[in-house]
Structure 1
């Protein structure tokens, strides 16, 4: 029996306009009201600020639900906002990433508790673009202050061509030292080695005494792959990348056509 379904947000639960379909809202609210034993857990790269606007429509505020955020580096409770688990990246170790980004004209931000932090004098268009998507708050931070600040991850932003070129300059030993993922065309994320959506999901599963074989995961992008490989049942969205489909057991419909709720219906029949 599937006891937990881990669900990505962007490109999965949300459509291309970053909206919830009306059928999705109703389905989730009804699902929670039924008191079904299976848990629906949001598992996203977004921070808490970027998840909050959707919670009421999904019925996650009427009682407490666990949410995995920051690409697996944080778990918190939907109703209380209480942080259950944090996995911060080493603030000193990421300094070389900041320098590499600046050298190649890449925008660099740190994702902290409650804030995004800019290492540039002025926010760039890419910073403002990403922060707006997740309803975040952006602060300027000095390198000196960053050494004593907790960051879940580092974000390196630029247009697709810029980042394609930038990735060729990342030393392999850095990739071995950190978890590095191209989560969006415009975004490379850097977290502590081993910290990803699978890590967050595993921490929660242990807390709830749920086995991987009792977990299904639904996703569409590169930062979902570890989560899909960890879960007993891996479900790719119809709009997922080919690399995601390759590691999945099932391919459901797209994020424009209720792919998530169609997949959940299949699981709990």
Structure 2
């Protein structure tokens, strides 16, 4: 249910399928709404599954305040737009090595992410590591091409874990294959589904997040340190800012946004969300918004501003 008893002081917005339109850019309408929110004294927080560097490709130059937070890698890292590190959680190398062997059937769909962000917000080559290329080029070819400057090809992939601790591991493929991968991972007691409260799965070392794009028959399973999620990161940020959860509006479109929608006082699910997620949101009394090709973010923000 919605908590509308507090004025909105923070707006947390997902990127892909939410803030970004089908062309992968922020529309003039959405940008105008973000600026209106900032002018009203509301902090705009971007919360994305993208890593910081890749998110900044679309955010740089929009005029967002340097001190505003960017929650990246589904909550594993929080930096300011100006690249100042606020929070980060690393995966234990031994856990990451175990995962590489545990998901052997799906190794050709695996990407490991390391946090190598510099003061300018850019990554270095090796921030993304893959062992096999063919399957990934087939499922996320555009992403692979866009991130080529950061990708290191390491065989076996475990070698990349000898000196660095990752922030994230990612499996990409068809919805059917990724659901099998997710089910296989969840059979182990050390792996849990996403949750904002680390105490819910005290023995777990790993949390899974799923993002689905039915029209592309694509699913991404993010493998993160336990307790990491957009919702958990948003709670930490709210505490840092001295805010109540009832003062937060969250806007998202996919399963990896559910945790932040759950913790926010006001929640808007985009009209282009997967059908089963839309049904779940309706049952929970969440606000159903417009689509990302209809400036759904702008409409949600303007509605809140009109009532603030």
RMSD value, Cα: 2.3
List runs of 5+ in structure 1 lacking aligned partners.
none
The one of 101, 104, 114 aligned to 1:102: 104
Residue 107 of structure 2 corresponds to residue 70 of structure 1: no
Distance 1:52 1:238 in 2: 25
Distance 2:148 2:44 in 1: 23
CA contact (8 A) 2:108 2:131 kept: no
Q: TM-score, normalised by structure 1?
A: 0.88
Match of 1:52 in 2: 56
Distance 1:175 1:16 in 2: 33
How big is the shift at 1:108? 1.1
Change (3 A) 1:12 1:213: same
Secondary structure at the counterpart of residue 267 of structure 2: strand
CA contact (8 A) 2:109 2:171 kept: yes
| The 10-residue stretch of structure 1 (198-207 or 23-32) with the greater mean CA deviation from structure 2 | 23-32
Residue 176 of structure 2 corresponds to residue 181 of structure 1: no
Q: Deviations over 1:163-196 (max 9, x none)?
A: 2333342224243322112123331111111110
CA contact (8 A) 1:218 1:234 kept: yes
Change (3 A) 1:16 1:149: same
Change (3 A) 1:107 1:209: same
Count, aligned residues: 265
Match of 1:160 in 2: 175
The one of 26, 29, 41 aligned to 2:32: 26
Distance 1:100 1:85 in 2: 29
How big is the shift at 1:136? 6.4
Residue 294 of structure 2 corresponds to residue 257 of structure 1: yes
Q: Deviations over 1:207-252 (max 9, x none)?
A: 1001111111111111111111111111111112332524452111
Secondary structure at the counterpart of residue 93 of structure 1: helix
Q: Deviations over 1:128-186 (max 9, x none)?
A: 54344568611134414404312111101223332233334222424332211212333
Change (3 A) 1:59 1:87: same
Secondary structure at the counterpart of residue 112 of structure 2: strand
The one of 109, 131, 137 aligned to 2:150: 137
| The 10-residue stretch of structure 1 (154-163 or 229-238) with the greater mean CA deviation from structure 2 | 154-163
How big is the shift at 1:264? 0.7
List runs of 5+ in structure 2 lacking aligned partners.
1-6, 116-122, 193-203, 213-217
Distance 1:29 1:268 in 2: 12
Secondary structure at the counterpart of residue 259 of structure 2: helix
| The 10-residue stretch of structure 1 (112-121 or 233-242) with the greater mean CA deviation from structure 2 | 112-121
Secondary structure at the counterpart of residue 10 of structure 1: helix
Q: TM-score, normalised by structure 2?
A: 0.78
Distance 1:137 1:105 in 2: 19
